[in-house]
Structure 1
Amino acid sequence: MPSKNQIHVGTVPIGGGAPVAVQTMTKTETADIQATLAQIRRVADAGADLVRCAVPRDSDAQALATIVRESPIPIVADIHYNYTLALKAFDAGAHCVRINPGNIGGPDKVAAVVARAKELGRPLRIGVNSGSLPEHLRELEFADPVEALVTAAVEFVELMERLEFTNFKVSIKSTSVPNTIASNRMLAQRIPYPLHIGVTEAGTKWSGSLKSAVGLGTLLADGIGDTIRISLSTFQAEEEVKVAWEILKALKLRRRGPVLIACPTCGRLQFDMDTVVTEVERRLEQYEEPIEVSVLGCGVNGIGEARHADFGIAGAKDMGVIYAKGELIRKVPTARLVDELFAEIDKYYASGKKVLRDQASVAEAAQWLAENEDETAMTPERMAALEAEAAKREAQSPVKGRRFTRASA
């Protein structure tokens, strides 16, 4: 379930049932204003709702004023060690400040940051990482890393509450996927505040995306998590945003842009599907609507296997078919499948989201499918026919409706 409390980072609501917010972190030196703003614009275009900037130096804090003013999305300042940088970040206009209880410098330093946040009416993020726990929890970390993470977070929450401050979100992150899942599940039961979830230092675009999908997907499927960040070893922050969106789209938590369905291929494949799928995925990036498109490698099974797609293609050696919502549109040469698919998609949008069909073309495609049908393939249509036949035989059973009782000895 989503957190009970809700905060706002700029205009973005987090927690309390709001859509899961997507965020990332810039990879540039924040003091390099133009490079940082260029990356922020890229991540915003990719779908980031907010973005975090590292502020390790005074020059970074000074740059924030311009960055906040020109950024298309809210800015979170990321602070470690030096609490005065948190104060300067707030003064520069940061919409939220992240502090780490393991290294910010003690309750008095936290109180100073909270006082400034209260004064300005802006939120904080409490960021607990397995690699930077408070010193008194280091031993517990080796014995029970999950309990250590949760304890650090709860102790800091209790400090916030003693300071009469509730305008914050909490994150507890680990490089371990099981520990990330277990600790967030435990914390979600103990506090009402919004949770920022992520697998820290997840790895490369390939391995890190998989770890993040497993860890965050599990939590989100449980209803845990109000905002997410994918942490990948890449200088392209927009790649983190794309992965985050794919996770949310896979769980149907949010919709943004196209969804691609593609079969895994098998021995029935008779055309270069790798190239086709890659090209379809590339061209779909130009569309902002949440359209669902399927690419199937079998001309017979394709329609049944992705009948709920808005549009799709199913190929064969020399010819393939285009369909929409499980119904045929026309057949085209395999070499032109991609071009003709997008021609149909463009006509769909141009006509006000109406699928346009020419009945002669539909009939021609249906005839081609019938002539090339694999009689051994168990298509959804054939399964439905077999089930109907079985039901018909049952209805004709000579013992249907009778009651049988075992005769007593």
Structure 2
Amino acid sequence: LLKKYGRPTPEAMVDSAMSHIKILERLRFFDIKISLKSSNILDTIEAYRLIHKKVDYPLHLGITAAGPPFSGSIKSSIGLGILLADGIGDTIRVSLTGSPLKEVKVGYEILKALELRRKGPEIISCPTCGRCEINILKMVREIEKEISTLPSNLKIAVMGCVVNGPGEAREADVGVAGGRGVGILFKKGKVVRKLKEDKLIKALIKEARSM
């Protein structure tokens, strides 16, 4: 195959997989799952698209040796996300340098983003701008720890200002938007009440737990 293709191209990966599949089928063994992982995102996507047209066996998706947590998560999200959005793939594996727990978390987040499977609520938070006068990052981290066991269909918003916050996050089930020393709690874009800044997190968590 290397002589024919010169390198591990998508076509070479598919040829290799098909030759192994034929061996198993000749032996009347059909409990097969196919994996065509590569560390190259574009090669991986093309290989899975090609094999998807040829066989009906389940496909195990992954970007192999994706790298350290930050860049590896991005590579995995792009590669797996494109394929899953096209309806290709049955199981996934996120391969990162580091803790397997991080791999599992990233995998769940990929599935959550595509609305294929949920594990824990979804948090919507703004990137902040000149109007933001609260520590959004600190709030999000605290809220993440507290809500991990809540029902997975909840959408929770943490927004930096009361000007755009409730409107931009009106699809959220519940959320908070900050201001200078004060903020608001809102549900489905409608303001419920005004609170002091140091009360926002507790109020949001309490409201989410009651839903």
Range of TM-score over shorter length: over 0.9
2:145 is matched with 282
Q: Pick one of 1, 19, 22 that aligns with 1:158.
A: 22
Q: Does 1:262 align with 2:105?
A: no
- Per-residue CA deviations over 1:379-399 (Å, capped at 9, x if unaligned) read xxxxxxxxxxxxxxxxxxxxx
- Letter of the 1:177 counterpart: I
Q: May I ask how many residue pairs the two structures share in their alignment? A: 211
- Per-residue CA deviations over 1:124-180 (Å, capped at 9, x if unaligned) read xxxxxxxxxxxxx23345356111111011111111111112111110010000000
Q: Where in structure 1 are there 5+ consecutive unaligned residues?
A: 1-136, 354-409
CA distance in 1, matches of 2:3, 2:77: 30
Query: In the alignment, is the contact (CA less than 8 A) between 2:35 and 2:60 conserved in 1?
Result: yes
Q: Does 1:196 align with 2:60?
A: yes
CA distance in 2, matches of 1:143, 1:165: 30
1:327 Cα shift?
1.9
2:100 is matched with 237
CA distance in 2, matches of 1:272, 1:178: 38
Amino-acid identity (%)? 44
Q: Pick one of 34, 49, 53 that aligns with 1:170.
A: 34
CA distance in 2, matches of 1:266, 1:140: 54
Structure 1 pair 272–261 and aligned structure 2 pair: CA distance change class (3 A)? same
Q: Pick one of 105, 109, 112 that aligns with 1:246.
A: 109
CA distance in 2, matches of 1:302, 1:270: 13
Mapping for residues 209-248 of structure 1, pairs under 5 Å: 209-234=73-98, 236-248=99-111
1:208 Cα shift?
0.6
What TM-score do you get using the length of structure 1 for normalisation?
A: 0.50
- Letter of the 1:171 counterpart: S
- Letter of the 2:73 counterpart: S
1:182 is matched with 46
1:287 Cα shift?
2.6
Q: Pick one of 13, 36, 54 that aligns with 1:149.
A: 13
- Letter of the 2:56 counterpart: P
CA distance in 1, matches of 2:128, 2:31: 50
User: What secondary structure does 2:33 align onto?
Assistant: strand
1:288 Cα shift?
4.7
User: What secondary structure does 1:308 align onto?
Assistant: coil
User: What secondary structure does 1:323 align onto?
Assistant: strand
User: What secondary structure does 2:11 align onto?
Assistant: helix
1:318 is matched with 181
User: What secondary structure does 1:332 align onto?
Assistant: strand
- Letter of the 1:318 counterpart: G
Query: In the alignment, is the contact (CA less than 8 A) between 2:61 and 2:91 conserved in 1?
Result: yes
CA distance in 1, matches of 2:96, 2:113: 19
Q: Does 1:337 align with 2:200?
A: yes
1:293 is matched with 156
Query: In the alignment, is the contact (CA less than 8 A) between 2:36 and 2:48 conserved in 1?
Result: yes
Mapping for residues 3-402 of structure 1, pairs under 5 Å: 137-143=1-7, 145-234=9-98, 236-346=99-209, 348=210, 353=211
Structure 1 pair 162–335 and aligned structure 2 pair: CA distance change class (3 A)? same
The more displaced of 273-282 and 286-295 is: 286-295
CA distance in 1, matches of 2:70, 2:29: 40
User: What secondary structure does 2:195 align onto?
Assistant: strand
